[in-house]
Structures are given as C-alpha cells and as structure tokens.
Chains A and B, each alone.
Chain A
Amino acid sequence: MEKARISSIQLFLLLTGFLFGNTLILAPAQGAKNDAWLAILLGGAGGALLMGVYAAIALLNPSKTLAEILKEKLGKVGGSFVTILDIWYFIHLASLVLRNFGEFIVTMTFLETPMAVVIGLFAVILVYLVNSGIEVMGRLSELLVPVIFLVVFIISLSLITVRDFTAFFPVLENGMKPVLNGAFALITFPFGESVVFLMVFPHLNKKERLKKVVPASAALVTFIILLVFFRDIFVLGSDLMVRSTFIPHLTSLLLPGFNVEPLIDITLMIGGGVKCSVCIYAAARTLCQIAGIGDYRKLTGAISTFCVVLSIWVYANVLEMFNFSENLWPYYSLPFQIVIPLLLLLLSFRKKSSQSNERAKSQKGKDAAKAY
C-alpha cells in the first residue's frame, strides 16, 4: 500500500528520537538512586538485545508489517486479537507520552493553562505530521532530532562548573535489587516500546542496514541517558534528584548566568513528538490493515482525538503518573514488548527452517539473528 521509503539515517534518527522521547522527564531506573548508572548500563544492554529481537523479526519477515506477520503466524482469529491488543497498546503509549508532555508543561511553565489545550494543540501538529506520511516523519526527524543532542550537550557542558563528581558514591549501597529493578524498568521503557517500529521497519530502503541501525541507536540512547544521569546527579546530588518531579527542569535552573528552561521544552517536544507520531502512525496503519482500509490517513484524526482524551483521562494527577510508569508499566508492557515478539521470532524461525530445504539457508538466517 504505502510505498514510502526512508533511509537508514532517517530510521536511525527516528528510532533515537523515539527512544529518547519522554525518557528524560520520567527518568526510568531512578529507583536505583545513585546506582542508576549501573541500571542504565544493564538496561541499555538488555534493551539492545530486545530491539535485536524486533530487528530479527523484521529481517525474517521482510517487507511485512506487524499486523501482517501476526496474521500469518497466529492465524486470522488469533492474529486479529493480538493485533487489536497491540493497537490498544500503541494508542495507550501515545496518550501516555502526550500526558507526560502536558504534565511537564503545566507543572513547570504554564501553571494556569489547562492541560487539554496544550495537549490538544500538540496533537494537531502530530496529526499534520502523521498525515504527511512516514517519509516526512523521517525527514523531519533528520532535521530536528539532532537538536536534542545539541541541547543535551550544551546544557551538560555549561553545567561543568557547578558539579560534584563524587555524588554517585557509594556504589551499591542498597544492594543489587534496585539496580536490577531499574534495569528491567529501563528495558521496558523506553527500549521495549520500540516494538512499535515493527510497523516502520518495512519502509527502510536497504533492509540489511537494520542490523546496524538498531544497535547503534540503542547504544546512542543509552549513552545519552547515562550522560544525562551523571549530569543530573553531579549537579543535584542523589537526594534532590530522587525527590524532584522533573529532573531536567531543575537542572536547567542551575545554570550559572541564565536560565535555559525553554531548551528543555524543545527536547521534550521533539522527542515526545517523534514518539507520539510514530505510535499514532503505527496504530492507524495497523488498524487500517486489519480492517482492510486503504489509507491510514482517514483514521489518524479519530485516533489522535482519542489519544488526547485518553491522556487526560488516564491519570488523575502527576503522582499517579509516576506511580504507574514506575510500578505498573513494566509488567503491563511485558506481553506486548517481550512475550509476543519472542513468540513471533520463534514462529518465524520454525517457518523459515521448515520452508527451506537447504540447511545452509536456514543456518544463515539463524546466524543473522544470532548477530543480535
């Protein structure tokens, strides 16, 4: 249907922007306090592995989207059921990101502005973007995602004078458990969320590039999360970091000389925008594929409207938001992010090996997947 093609750089930046998304404000792995860097490293490795699974699925089922793979592997009824669940998951994810964005803006900058207005206007832009197609999304991320890195580096560099480099001591004060918990949380958020990209991977113009793009982007995001974590803990100290609602905002206030608060809005808006638009795009396309509608653009408006309403509906206050994303989200995400993809991977393998008569060919496929 859609013959759009995106280049590997575009996919890389799209993926990176997606993973970056709202990670900064929610600060996953923060439960491990000053050991979060360990959690980030572990979680990054695990996340890369998980994303490798997604890439392997995409490589084993070339030019098929998630809905098509599910239908093929799980049959019509089962496939449709899981697909509908996945659609719900994508929509939910998009609305959570919207809520994060709105919550941040409303808490920090526009205290008197209704959140619905902020989120609604943001959604309008997202609809415009999603309706422009995946190519334009790729091109836009090519333009804007580098800005995120720029902002993060600028803030980090300008804070170099006000930091205390011993703040992350002592190591493993509370044992390994919080670290493992944090790592697990980090795998499901943000890395596992990239399961959405099974709807985007088929658009890549050179399929084999996927093997490079996915790990590179996971590595870059891990590095940036790590950088941001160290920056924040050096500047704020572990206690204040754990207590603050939105860490990067607090950090931005500490710059000597001037206040760079709006820059945080920029990163959040770009990252969140990429994440949200990919989710809405994926939801709309998946829905259209199982319903047999040709053009997903017809439904983006409705889905986005629903996302906006859902984002207001989903939490009563900011604490509920933090509680959900820390305690419930990882478990809730498990089936969507890990169980279904692993099942798909297994089924793809089996089909591949039974299909091909030559052993060598199946061996090759395994090797390809083993690379992850």
Chain B
Amino acid sequence: MIMVLAVFAILIFYDVRKFIRTKEPVKVFAIYACFMATSLIVSLLLAAGRKPPGPTQWIEAILNIFGVAS
C-alpha cells in the first residue's frame, strides 16, 4: 500500500512538475489525471487485496450477450 502510494507520488510529481514548467493546456492535465486516478484507485484496491472485476470479465460478459464465447 505504502509502496504503491510512494511510487505513484514519485511518478505524478515528476510528470506534473514537467507539465507545469512547460505550461501545458488544461486538457493534458485532464487526460493525465484521468489515467493516473484510475490507475491509482485500481492499484490501491489490488494492493488491499480486493480485486475489482476487470476488463476480462466485462469482455466476457459482453461476448456472452452476443453469444459468441462458449
């Protein structure tokens, strides 16, 4: 848990500092925040041992609706 937070803190600090220095438009921050937030939440959940249903399950469900996957 702490390791995950530390790694993310380093990554975000490193990137955001660069963005601020180069004065990036808001959309860059938005997309960046979107990816990082998702990653952070998921990895925290994983670190806590609670694996949320992942893309594999979604895809399986979708394919089952179409009835292709056995």
Contacts and interface: CB of A to CB of B under 8 A. Distances in A.
Q: Do chains A and B touch in the complex (CB under 8 A)?
A: yes
Interface of A: 92, 120, 287, 291-293, 298-299, 301-303, 305-306, 308-310, 312-316, 320, 324, 327-328, 331-332
A303 B32 CA distance: 8
A298 B19 contact: yes
Contact of B43 (A299, A302, A312): A312
Contact of B27 (A291, A305, A324, A327): A291
A99 to B, nearest CB: 10
Interface residues of B, number: 32
What secondary structure prevails in chain B residues at the interface with A? helix
A313 B27 contact: no
A309 B4 CA distance: 11
Contacts, number: 78
A302 B35 contact: yes
Interface in B11-47: 11, 14-15, 18-19, 24-25, 27-28, 31-32, 35-36, 38-39, 42-43, 46
A301 B31 CA distance: 12
B43 A309 contact: yes
Contact of B28 (A120, A299, A324, A332): A299
A314 B39 CA distance: 12
Contact of B69 (A301, A308, A309, A327): A327
B5 interface: no
A314 B54 CA distance: 5
